[in-house]
Amino acid sequence: MLPAFLLEVTFYASLSSERFRARLERMPPAILATLLTISAILPYCLATLALGTFQWQALGWISLLAAAVSFWYVLLPKNPAADILLLVFMAAVWLGKLFPLWYASPYPKLYLPVLGQLMWFRTGLFAMLSIRRVKGVGFGFWPTVREWKIGAVHYAIFLPLAAILAWSIGFASPRIPTGWEKTSLLAIGTFFGTLWVLALGEEFFFRGLLQQWLISWTRSEWAGLILASLVFGSVHVFKSPFPNWKFAALAALAGICYGLAFRRARSIRASMVTHALVVTTWKILFA
């Protein structure tokens, strides 16, 4: 399994290199989109051929979805309507939980669908950064000192507000973690895993793209921030048990704090820090 995971991690990590992305941007868009589609299916083939779970139907669906995202801005104009449609399309595939159907593993403890999830984030990010060429996102894997501070401050703002909201709506009670070493390792792993995957992807799409677009369309910083946060919260209503309105309300509040961090730093790296700290707290005290 190691070659498949290393290949996907290599593709994903290449996003962090501005020089590499600049070289990609010099390619004709159709060629770049073709390369993105091919790179999307290679980890799947390596993993499933090694495990004996390869399926032509799954490969076809993965290829079709990856090609749709990769060629989105090759075939469609670079305008707000196409932008919103792409976000809706990517969210629908993600919320549909399709990757566990295609990335089947005979080993229960080996969660193979993570390859599909990384691929989906990566393909969308490359399409936006190197083909759509969005600006003003502050994209990157490692925050600056200022961004760390801004992210931590907005996490500190979120905590008491979340405690009040959780108490008022009867959200789950926190538990006291046991085992200092195990808890510390879990916290570190959760933080950096969230920072570089979940937070990076969600902050890029919700704050770097959607919030900025909504601010531009409404001509109001606060209206754009609040609307993006409400959309972010509504996505979390699908958290089991559905419809999970309490979780969605807390996610919307978190979205406001993430949006404020992004607004202050003008970079998703700051909101990624806040996001990763919130998810780590959730994982340690509630999950």
**Could you give the CA distance from residue 109 to residue 105 in angstroms, rounded to a whole number?**
9
**What's the predicted TM-score (pTM) here?**
0.88
pLDDT value at residue 8? 94
Higher pLDDT, 179 or 47: 47
pLDDT band at 130 (very low <50, low <70, confident <90, very high): very high
pLDDT band at 206 (very low <50, low <70, confident <90, very high): very high
**Could you give the CA distance from residue 6 to residue 14 in angstroms, rounded to a whole number?**
12
Helical ranges in the chain per DSSP H: 2-13, 18-25, 29-51, 56-70, 72-75, 80-95, 99-102, 113-126, 145-169, 180-193, 199-203, 212-218, 221-235, 245-265, 268-285
Whose CA is closest to 206, among 157, 269, 133, 255? 255
Whose CA is closest to 232, among 271, 281, 193, 283? 271
| pLDDT of 172 above 80 | no
Residue spans of the domains in the chain: they are: 2-132, 145-285
- Mean residue pLDDT of the chain comes to 92
pLDDT band at 158 (very low <50, low <70, confident <90, very high): very high
**Could you give the CA distance from residue 125 to residue 119 in angstroms, rounded to a whole number?**
10
pLDDT value at residue 241? 79
Q: What is the pLDDT of residues 214-265, one digit of tens each?
A: 999 999 999 999 999 999 999 898 887 788 899 999 999 999 999 999 999 9
pLDDT band at 175 (very low <50, low <70, confident <90, very high): confident
Range picked from 144-153, 184-193, 213-222, 231-240 for highest mean pLDDT: 144-153
pLDDT band at 135 (very low <50, low <70, confident <90, very high): confident
